[in-house]
Structure 1
């Protein structure tokens, strides 16, 4: 049991570190190839925040733990909104200025309903996985197109600041490879430790995916959002969460569908998905606002965080 806990904690720490190195290397490679910062930010950086969830879901699926990957997707999306933005808004209120973000939020709702439609039959099939991957490609193309159209979007400067400076192509490739290797090794540690803990306490893989693994893999979003907010980059903080949630529902959910398709725990659809949908709608309302610009104030941040605590308590009661 102690070995499993140690593997889980160490694995999550390495997972976060590996994801950062991977994204830094990939972003620097793209920058050295003269790819515009907005495209790097909307694709590599946004996808990078979901890398821990994606690798964990893939490894879990390879081990036959489909529910762990699905729980990681739903739990991470709930944690991203309720925990990450809740804590960040308590530190500093988040105002939404970027038109790119205001366009992304309705798309997040569309992606959420697409995922629900695919999960509604209680089975995650390979066809579902292919549809999700197609949706991912279309979404990345759309984000890139609108990002390049609006040259005055405040996110351009924020994305530029987030890309490492002065890294040579050789160093960029090296960190890219190191990050990828660490991601693979640490994800194996996380999956093994999580499954062992689940078996020890007699709870389902779904519950472990929704809680311990989801919170652990949401740490990059928490760190990035708090850092962005403290630097006055509220758009980047919210953008990390919105982008991560879209990538989770498309890229991460596709992993168990393509690798280990089949039926999943009904609680994921009947309990956890509606809760995730509720938090997503709440994010849409408070971020877009009813005027020109939306804002997540401290009171709303407190409500989001309280809702997350309540959700964890519900899982505790039912587990």
Structure 2
């Protein structure tokens, strides 16, 4: 029964996030916000809503392992599963934006800051504020950089029927679905872990993170299939940045989270390696199937280690 509740709750969570993503994008397009900015901010934050809701709910319920494992697992999956899928599916990837010079290092910095923060065994509220400030710094950078980004042709999206009277209720409904879905996702995942004798960390890093990464996977593949590779890659970079700063920061702000870092060294190391690989790929503009296969190898090692520890 708990597994059925988990699946339904995850579906509700993703459905709510999808409503928020779609209508946030329409608001951005209405005001002619550039495509990359939409991908790296509104859509990235929107697709990170499931992670945020699940991690905050876990933190408030005194389940820090689920909250932190969800962030680490989502970051790994966003790069090794979502980005790899984009590389393997898209016919040709030629981004207009220099992701190495402007963005990929922004995904690495929070990971390094996270490593420093967990050395004392806890992510405190002070750490949370610093993480949120880091996301603020990236948003400020994007706003300043947006002046140099051309506005894309938006004809394919019909904005003639845009209405705030429709958009606001849908957004509110989406947020309600996300909150309710997150609560039942965490509770059912915790019960599943207890019934099978599996640690909450394993449940968080596999089941919860895989479920909450689905919006990124769907949005990025859809964007890549339409040739919007800047939006697809921007979504992944922005989502990882949002996970490590906003999601982790909000969860720690709700309740300080202890972490036994040495016990989860492999998972933390995998997140670091995956992020470094992202930087390497963008630095050398390796947007091809070979890079995708390399990322899938990292994913295989990550899943194999996790399954062995179950």
Distance 1:297 1:63, change over 3 A: same
Partner of 1:120, secondary structure, is helix
Equivalent residue pairs, number: 307
Return 52-61 or 259-268, whichever deviates more. Answer: 259-268
How much does 1:93 deviate? 5.4
Shift of 1:220: 0.8
Query: How far is 1:303 from its partner?
Result: 2.2
Alpha-carbon contact 2:39-2:235 (below 8 Å) kept: no
Query: After superposition, where does 1:1-319 map in structure 2 within 5 Å?
Result: 3-29=1-27, 34=31, 36-37=33-34, 40-92=38-90, 95-99=93-97, 101-102=99-100, 103-147=102-146, 149-152=147-150, 156-157=151-152, 165=159, 166-267=161-262, 270-289=265-284, 294-319=285-310
Higher mean displacement: 41-50 or 119-128: 41-50
Give the RMSD, CA atoms, in angstroms: 2.1
Offset at 1:30?
5.3
Q: C-alpha distance in 2, partners of 1:280/1:96?
A: 21
d(CA) in 2 for partners of 1:296, 1:249: 24
Q: Go from structure 1 to structure 2 and tell me whether the alpha carbon gap of 1:161 and 1:295 turns closer, same or farther (over 3 Å shift).
A: farther
Partner Cα separation in structure 2 for residue 101 and residue 181 of structure 1:
34
Q: What are the ranges of 5 or more consecutive residues in structure 2 without an aligned counterpart?
A: none
DSSP-derived class of the 1:296 partner? coil
| Aligned 8 A contact 1:221 1:240 in 2 | yes
User: Using the alignment, how far apart are the partners of 1:262 and 1:182 within structure 2?
Assistant: 25
Displacement after TM superposition at 1:265 (Å): 3.0
How far is 1:172 from its partner? 0.6
Q: Secondary structure at the match of 1:302?
A: helix
The answer to whether the Cα contact below 8 Å between 1:19 and 1:51 also exists between their aligned partners in 2 is: yes
Name the CA shift for 1:186/1:142 in 2 (closer, same or farther; >3 Å): same
Q: Secondary structure at the match of 1:22?
A: helix
Give the drift of 1:62: 1.1
- Contact 1:61-1:255 within 8 A present in 2 as well: no
Gaps spanning 5+ residues in structure 1: where?
A: none
Moved more, 245-254 or 302-311: 302-311
1:250 Cα offset (Å): 0.2
Q: 1:240 to 1:43 in 2, by over 3 A?
A: closer
**1:12, 1:48 → 2: CA distance?**
15
The Cα shift of 1:10 comes to 1.1
After superposition, the Cα gap between the structure-2 partners of 1:131 and 1:96, relative to the gap in structure 1 and judged at 3 Å, is farther
Q: Distance in 1 between matches of 2:250 and 2:210?
A: 19
CA–CA distance in structure 2, aligned partners of residues 203 and 161 of structure 1:
50
Give the distance between the partners of 1:220 and 1:162, measured in 2 at CA.
Answer: 22
Q: C-alpha distance in 2, partners of 1:94/1:130?
A: 40
Deviation of residue 276 (structure 1)? 0.5
Q: Deviations over 1:190-240 (max 9, x none)?
A: 111110111111121111111011111110111111111111122221111
TM-score, length-scaled by structure 2: 0.91
- CA shift at 1:262, angstroms? 3.7
Residue 288 of structure 1 and its aligned partner are, at CA, apart by 2.4
Counterparts of 1:278 and 1:69 in 2: how far apart (Å)? 21
Aligned residues of 1:206 and 1:265 also touching (Cα < 8 A): no
